[in-house]
């Protein structure tokens, strides 16, 4: 026997499927939010100090005015006079 809803209409099978779909989506969202809540957080003051320490101790040769030129052979540095092209 089918039960009658509060407004007197018979329930439709599609309504139950929609409710299950909404419940599934809500459960997925809830699990996602729980996962986000479990992630480790770093206070902004600590993150700022870590960033400042990294920037001041790690050499960045793309800023030669601060760190100077690298002492290694740079493959992308400008070459001397003459063409060093290889033709195959």
Locate 45 and state its tokens. Answer: 């003051």
73 secondary structure, DSSP code: P
> Which residues, 6 or more positions from 4, have their beta carbon under 8 angstroms from its beta carbon?
10
What's the pLDDT score for residue 62? 78
- Helix, strand, coil shares of the chain as percentages rounded to 5? 50, 0, 50
Distance CA 56, CA 62 (A): 14
- Give one word for 21, left, alpha or beta, with left for phi > 0 and alpha for psi -120 to 50: alpha
pTM recorded for the entire structure? 0.41
Distance CA 4, CA 18 (A): 18
18-59 residue pLDDT tens: 888 999 999 999 999 999 999 999 999 999 999 999 988 888
pLDDT at 5 over 60: no
């Amino acid at each position: 026997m089918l039960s009658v809803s509060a407004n007197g209409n018979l329930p439709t099978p599609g309504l139950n499927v929609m409710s299950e779909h909404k419940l599934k989506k809500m459960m997925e969202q809830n699990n996602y939010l729980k996962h986000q809540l479990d992630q480790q957080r770093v206070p902004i003051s600590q993150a700022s100090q870590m960033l400042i320490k990294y920037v001041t101790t790690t050499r960045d040769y793309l800023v030669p005015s601060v760190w100077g030129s690298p002492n290694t052979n740079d493959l992308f540095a400008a070459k001397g006079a003459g063409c060093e092209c290889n033709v195959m």
